[in-house]
Structure 1
Amino acid sequence: MTRSRLILFLLLLISSRAISAEVDIDKAREMLKDYGLANCIANQFKGESEIKSDIGLAIGAYSAMGKGQHLIIQNEDTLEVTHDPYMETEKFMLDAYTNSSSVSKHSDKKMVFYACLEIYNSEELNTFIKSQDQYLPK
């Protein structure tokens, strides 16, 4: 191993240990839940708007490319994604939203914010989010 590769290896080892030592499980769970809430709301509106654009920025901030702490798992040989906690959270929220019944007595349309917030505060989402802990850096 060349000197530069050895230095790179040691830096990666040290930084990965520093990252894993810094994982705050409660904060990581909160970020994943917030990612789910933002997606739940944004995915219900097809047209572009300032608020949808703003929520889109929040989704990016909560994701793995932002401040999200969950790891996306890939096959080392094919680089195929084998588990993505963010996509799984988005799927969970969409399924829960589809199965929710939050219609206003003043309209026959589903109340998006109300339904998404109900899901966000549900014990089912908390249980799901905890199931993603295995994808946090150790």
Structure 2
Amino acid sequence: MKALLLAALLVSGCATGLNDTTLEEARQSLKNYGLSRCLLENLPRDDSALREDLASASRAYHFMGKGRHQILQDEESLNTLHDPYQATRNFVVARYPAAGSAMKAGNGNSAFHACLTIYNSAEFDEFVRTQDAYLP
């Protein structure tokens, strides 16, 4: 009986660890999506290899790629009720102007620096945690 109880405790402990890991991976994936969208939205709109790479990364982190968050839809009308990916995009785009980093040469902002500032902010971490409700 003790062996059965011990085995049950070990299995439940492993499952909890796996769930914590899965949760952190989902959050990290959404953060990475936000970084790729921030850069994609704010870099010059040219046909560069970098923009193609960012677009590919964005698609990979999105729900239709390997994203883990679910898009909530009305079952009858199929209207989108909440899209964690769109909400993340909106979050980083809205914070970009305040996070802008003027370049020393005075020729604009550093999109990479501004997007990293957003990515590493406690505010972004808090926002990403609010999207946990949309995990399966």
TM superposition score normalised by structure 2: 0.82
Question: Partners of 2:110 and 2:100 in 1: how far apart?
Answer: 9
Indicate yes or no: 2:54 matched with 1:30. Answer: no
Which has the higher relative contact order, 1 or 2, with Cα contacts under 8 A spaced 6 or more apart? 1
Q: Tell whether the 8 Å contact from 2:70 to 2:134 is kept in structure 1 after alignment.
A: yes
Question: Partners of 1:31 and 1:107 in 2: how far apart?
Answer: 34
Consecutive aligned runs of 4 or more in structure 1 exceeding 6 Å deviation: none
Task: Give unmatched runs, 5+ long, in structure 2.
Answer: 1-17
Larger helix proportion, structure 1 or 2?
2
Aligned to 2:45: 46
Offset of 1:113 from its aligned partner?
A: 0.2
Aligned to 1:9: none
Aligned to 2:98: 99
TM superposition score normalised by structure 1: 0.81
Identity of aligned residues (%): 39
Aligned to 2:59: 60
Equivalences, count: 117
Q: SS of the counterpart of 2:75?
A: coil
1:84-95 pair list within 5 angstroms: 84-95=83-94
**What is the one-letter code of the residue matched to 2:113?**
Y
Task: Give unmatched runs, 5+ long, in structure 1.
Answer: 1-20
